[in-house]
Amino acid sequence: MNATRRFAGLTAALLSATLIDACHKKAPDQPAPAVAPAAGPNADSARRAQEDAARRAAEDAARRRAADSAAAAAAAARDAAAAAAALRTTLTAMVHFDYDQSDLRPEDRAILDAKVPILSANPTVMIRVAGHTDERGSDEYNLALGQRRASSVKAYLVQHGIADSRIQTISYGEERPMAQGTDESAYLQNRRAEFDITGGPQTLRKP
Amino acid sequence: MNPFVRATVLAFFAALAMTAGASRTALAQDTTFRGITLIGNYDPLRDKISVAVLPVSGAFGDSLRAIVQRDLDFSDRFAILPIEGGDADAARTGGAASGLNYSIFKRLNAAAVIQMTSTPTGVHVALHDVVKGQVVNVGDFALPSAGFSREWRMAVHRTSDEIARWMTGQRGIAATRIAYIRGTGKAAAIRIIDSDGAGEITVPTDENGISPAWHPSGTMLAYSTYGDVASRIVLFDLTTSNSRTLTTAPRNTQYITPNFMPDGTSILYARSGESGSDIYAVGLSGSDAPRRLTAGRGAENASPTPSPDGRRVVYVGNGYGQPELYIMDADGTDARLLTEYDLSDKNYRSDPDWSPDGRLIAYQEKIGPAFQIRTIRATGGTPKQLTSEGVNEQPSWAPDSRHIVFTSTRSGVRQLWILDTETFRMRQLTTSAGSRLAAWSSRLTQ
């Protein structure tokens, strides 16, 4: 078996050497094949393939552009929503008060100052200011104190150019505590004015 | 060690005459009042008349007796002697025409014996004077056939109050009810309970109803509402269970602390808004425009409470800084500071209630970190402090001008308690946490 296989290998090697030699000698006599368009069924199919490729590329590009622009739009919408949410957060940020006081503290005036341009840029927005107290005063008298706190907030916004008719004031007194508990940190959280947007567009315009 | 066993024999009338007072003088002229003979130097405000209430046979007899005993006990003018079965049986034998053996009650130091007998329409009551050894008053009282019903209980309370009047000249306060708020946030609601804490009902009100106040007739409540819908003063008719809005607050204002005038034809309340809080009066017909009584000029004036004669009004104002009590004439003139004020005094005083006899004003004052109940004479002077344990606030007088219902945290959470301002005995009225803002009715006739 080994002798037979060895012979076959040798034959194949000789044969292939002969064939290579033959090709080499033949090549210079033959003209180079033309790249130019040629008539016939083979040429047509090549052109169609090229056109298909071009079209596919164009379509891909369009798809990519569309995707890009959708992503950009989504991002923009996200940004806008985030911006609107931020505006809404600013507009509804609470202010707080000292014990038994309705005067606005400097840090709370700053919170109200941030609301003014938003209210100015969104003239149809209506807000409601609810005054709250901690539980230490009289239950009933605290309804008056809560009203006074809401009024104090409203007066500040009106002084800064917001129309009186756009701001409603109410009081909950001590009836709706934000924090339960009987320590100063709970009391501080509860002595507050809350803001609700009661009218105007869903999305707030940026100042 | 009975306080009545002393040398002098004194008719109760004499003691009664010593306690001057317009209402008591009027009662003393009542010819049906006989009183009970007492032995010793009896102080009608501090001493208690020893009373035995005999067992009652028949359906509801045990409950009838228990309620009458408790009513007399809660009036703080009687000491109820426990009568055991043997004593009760012995007492019925060997006596005179009445069938009572007075010697047994003399031995028990009883001054009076109450004997009740069920009748087809209610109960027959006989009051025995132990010293005289005779019946000194009798009466028949109708009771609704539905035993234990709210109406039945109130009829029994009225019986107790009349028995108390037979003995002392002054009607009891058992046949009264107390309106109050229980619950927090949106669950807060106006409730009404009998003076002994039984028979609670919830008034069908707006979820934000607060500050219930009784009409002098006891047939109507007024309350105010707060929150994100327009604040109102609402009238609730307890006879028909109908509610009607008396007046609605304009935008940016709030109506608080309504109270009826004593003639029952108008309501005082405070209107809180951008220029502070002022007190107004408005008729119940709703046809007249509200009249403003105070000119707060930015201050908060609230909690108007009329004197029983309707001529003056006590209220809270903070014109000087912290809340203080003021008294003005009912037309809004001549406002004067009632509670002492000086610049170093930062005490917060509020929630006044004028006693039905006109003498005293109960209120809350911040003593240290907590509110306490105080009384001050309507003419001014040195206040008297009635509480010291826990936070105590929102006092409301009983029709006897002696008991006060108030809110206290002495048990750990806010509950209603009743204080006898003469003996300082306290009892807890409610057992559900978060009870507050009590208002005590007049004596109820239905």
Numbers of helices and strands, H then E, in chain A: 5, 4
Q: Could you give the CA distance from residue B100 to residue B87 in angstroms, rounded to a whole number? A: 11
Question: What residue in A sits closest to B227 (Cα-Cα)?
Answer: A172
Report the b/e string of B201-230 with b at 16+ CB within 10 A.
eebebbebbbbbbbbbebbbbbbbbbbeee
How far is B7 from chain A, CA to nearest CA, in Å?
51
Q: Are B178 and B416 in contact (CB under 8 A)?
A: yes
The pLDDT assigned to B47 comes to 83
Query: Hey, are the CB atoms on A141 and B323 less than 8 Å from each other?
Result: yes
Q: How many Cβ atoms are within 10 Å of A105's Cβ, its own excluded? A: 13
How far is A66 from chain B, CA to nearest CA, in Å?
48
As a whole number of angstroms, the longest Cα–Cα distance in chain B is: 78
Q: How many Cβ atoms are within 10 Å of B188's Cβ, its own excluded? A: 19
Q: Could you give the CA distance from residue B40 to residue B12 in angstroms, rounded to a whole number? A: 10
Interface with A, mutate which of B252, B253, B346, B406 (most A CBs under 10 A): B252
> In B, which residues are within 8 Å of A144 by CB distance?
254, 256, 270, 272, 277, 300, 302
The pLDDT assigned to B147 comes to 81
Query: Each residue of A26-48: pLDDT tens digit?
Result: 444 455 555 555 555 677 888 88
* Among B215, B233, B216, residue whose Cα is nearest residue B224: B233
What do you get for the CA distance between the two ends of chain B, in Å? 41
- Over its C-alpha atoms, chain B yields an Rg (Å, rounded) of 23
The pLDDT assigned to B144 comes to 92
Question: Residue A175: helix, strand or coil by DSSP?
Answer: coil
Q: Are B226 and B210 in contact (CB under 8 A)?
A: yes
Q: Which of B184, B208, B351 sits opposite A138 (nearest CB)?
A: B351
> In A, which residues are within 8 Å of B251 by CB distance?
168
Query: Each residue of A159-190: pLDDT tens digit?
Result: 999 999 999 999 999 999 999 988 999 999 99
- Distance (Å) of CA A43 to CA A30, A52, A53, A57, B413: 22, 14, 16, 21, 97
pTM for the whole structure: 0.83
Residue A144 sits at the chain B interface (C-beta within 8 Å): yes
The pLDDT assigned to B67 comes to 97
Sheet holding B291-292, edge to edge: B254-260, B266-273, B276-283, B291-292
As a whole number of angstroms, the longest Cα–Cα distance in chain A is: 120
Q: Which of B185, B254, B273 sits opposite A176 (nearest CB)?
A: B185
Q: Which residues of chain B have pLDDT under 70?
A: 1-34, 85-98, 341-346
Question: In the predicted model, is pLDDT for residue A6 greater than 90?
Answer: no
The pLDDT assigned to B343 comes to 57
The pLDDT assigned to B59 comes to 81
The pLDDT assigned to B92 comes to 63
Q: Are B189 and B203 in contact (CB under 8 A)?
A: yes
Query: Hey, are the CB atoms on B273 and A143 less than 8 Å from each other?
Result: no
Q: Could you give the CA distance from residue B57 to residue B63 in angstroms, rounded to a whole number? A: 10
The pLDDT assigned to A195 comes to 98
Q: How many Cβ atoms are within 10 Å of B108's Cβ, its own excluded? A: 17
Q: What is the ipTM metric for this complex?
A: 0.87
Q: Which of B251, B252, B302 sits opposite A140 (nearest CB)?
A: B302
The pLDDT assigned to B327 comes to 97
The pLDDT assigned to B344 comes to 63
Helices A106-121/A41-92 angle, 10° precision: 130
| Residue B113 structure tokens | 């014996």
Q: How many Cβ atoms are within 10 Å of A119's Cβ, its own excluded? A: 22
Residue B276 sits at the chain A interface (C-beta within 8 Å): yes
Q: Could you give the CA distance from residue B384 to residue B368 in angstroms, rounded to a whole number? A: 16
Query: Hey, are the CB atoms on A140 and B208 less than 8 Å from each other?
Result: no
* Among B132, B149, B183, residue whose Cα is nearest residue B60: B149
Q: Which of B254, B322, B364 sits opposite A170 (nearest CB)?
A: B254
Query: Each residue of A118-148: pLDDT tens digit?
Result: 999 999 999 999 999 999 999 999 999 999 9
The pLDDT assigned to B113 comes to 95
Query: Each residue of B153-166: pLDDT tens digit?
Result: 999 999 999 999 99
